[in-house]
């Protein structure tokens, strides 16, 4: 098991509803899900198109 080396500083800032986004973001990074998503979703023909992982990672914070 890999132990995360995060150090949290103390603060007087208020917590927001997006505080829980660090866990899925870290999971996506550790498991290299962006690479897996790009491998399994078809590439678009346009050179201006977003990669599938970019599109999915953009939608993730919008989910409540």
Domain boundaries, the chain: 20-62
The arithmetic mean of pLDDT across residues 6-23, rounded, is 72
Each residue of 25-51: pLDDT tens digit? 778 888 888 899 889 988 777 777 788
pTM of this prediction exceeds 0.75: no
Residue 64 confidence (pLDDT): 52
SS3 assignment for the chain: CCCCCCCCCCCCCCCCCCHHHHHHHHHHHHCCHHHHHHHHCCCCCCCCCCCHHHHHHHHHHHCC
């Amino acid at each position: 098991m890999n132990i995360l080396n995060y150090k949290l500083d103390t603060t007087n800032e208020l917590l927001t509803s997006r505080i829980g986004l660090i866990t899925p973001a870290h999971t996506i990074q550790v498991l290299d899900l962006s690479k897996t998503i790009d491998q399994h979703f078809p590439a678009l023909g346009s050179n201006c198109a977003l990669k599938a992982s970019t599109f999915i990672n953009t939608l993730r914070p919008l989910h409540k």
